[in-house]
Structures are given as structure tokens and as C-alpha cells.
Amino acid sequence: MNLRNRRMETEWQLLGSLADANKTAFAQITRLPNEFRVVMCESPAWVGRRSERRIETRHELRYVYPRYYPFLPLEGYFVHPISHINVDPMTGFVCLWKDYRPSQTIVDAVLITRAIMAGDVANWDPAHRMQQDAVTEPLPMPSLGIPANCRPLLPQRSSRQRLLSPITNDTLESSFAFSDTE
């Protein structure tokens, strides 16, 4: 078994533990050969354009593992794109990482995704702006319980600290380089 497959197996176990600890937030997780599909509930995000905007709390995501993972980052996609400047309105691609490190896991990706969904973070760099008229009004995001075996690897975390969602903007900024202002 190569490194990619070993890591994907570990990632699947992490995702399973996270979903088991948060049964109301994860409606379904599915493993495919190169991706994990996640249906999140109780996770509000703005959807639609301009006059059609509304808040939806159920979202299906794809976390795709590229051929050279973990040396290349996993990619996140909303099956039905949300309204956020860092989400491509056509493909649903969500920009998760600024400075990706191979030690980051699916848990990190889920926490960052939920922070994006809540509108708590945004990367205002023009190269990362995929929607010009996206909603910037934040939404309350219920916290996730993070089991001890699922500790995310975001910076500023001691080896004994248990990180609870939502993660702080300071922590996200150092991993994702988001800022609250334009």
C-alpha cells in the first residue's frame, strides 16, 4: 500500500470518528476511490444569487484526493455552490488552503469549510475571489465536538489541547490567510 492510500485510509477513519461524534451535523459520509462525500446538516450557509439568496443548512461536499496526495492538498467542492467569495459558483470548488502542509487532515478541511460556510472567514486576495457579489453577512455555526483522535493540525495548537469548532480567525488566518476586511 502506497503513502497516498495509507493516508486516505487514516483520513477515512478520522472522518468516521468526527461524524460519529457529531451525528446531527453529519447526515452521511461516503467513500469513493479518490474522494469522500459528506452531507452536512445544521451547517448554515448563504446560497443563491442576489434576490434569490436564502440560508440553507444541508450541504453536500466532495473532498477529492489528488494523485500525489498528501504532497498535493486535498480539494473541496460544494455539490451545490454556496454564496462566498472563495467558492467557484460554477464548479463549487472552495479554496481551503493558502499554505497547505501535508500534515493537515480532513478534520482541518471540514473545520475550514464550516468557517467558510458561516462567513467567518474570507480570502480577499483578488486571485482567490471567485464571486464578486457574494454575501458577507456571518451566520451562527453550531460547534462540532472533536474527538481526541481527530485533533486538527492547524497551527497554534498544543499537543494536549482539544480544539472545538468554531476555530478562531487568528488560527485560520495563519493556515488560510483569511481576513475579515477587504
Which of 58-62, 106-110, 175-179 has the lowest average pLDDT?
175-179
Question: What does the block give as the cell for 23?
Answer: 451525528
Do 139 and 45 contact (CB within 8 A), yes or no?
A: yes
Question: What does the block give as the cell for 48?
Answer: 443563491
Provide the pLDDT confidence category of residue 100 given band limits of 50, 70 and 90.
Answer: confident
Give me the chain's average pLDDT, please.
84
Question: What does the block give as the cell for 156?
Answer: 497554534
Question: What does the block give as the cell for 72?
Answer: 498535493
Tens of pLDDT, residues 24-56: 999 999 999 999 999 999 999 999 887 788 999
Output 52 or 159, whichever has higher pLDDT. Answer: 52
User: If you average pLDDT over residues 13-20, what whole number do you get?
Assistant: 96
Provide the pLDDT confidence category of residue 98 given band limits of 50, 70 and 90.
Answer: confident
Question: What does the block give as the cell for 131?
Answer: 464571486
Cβ neighbors of 133 (< 8 A, separation 6 or more) are 49, 50
* pLDDT of res. 99: 80
Q: What percent of the chain has pLDDT over 90?
A: 62
Helix extents (H) in 22-178: 106-118, 169-176
Q: What percent of the chain has pLDDT over 70?
A: 82
* pLDDT of res. 134: 80
Tens of pLDDT, residues 46-84: 998 877 889 999 999 999 999 999 999 999 999 999 999
Provide the pLDDT confidence category of residue 163 given band limits of 50, 70 and 90.
Answer: very low
* pLDDT of res. 152: 59
Find, among 150, 117, 115, the residue nearest to 19 by Cα.
150
Provide the pLDDT confidence category of residue 126 given band limits of 50, 70 and 90.
Answer: confident
Cβ neighbors of 47 (< 8 A, separation 6 or more) are 53, 54, 55, 56, 80, 81, 82, 83
Q: What single-letter amino acid sits at 28?
A: Q
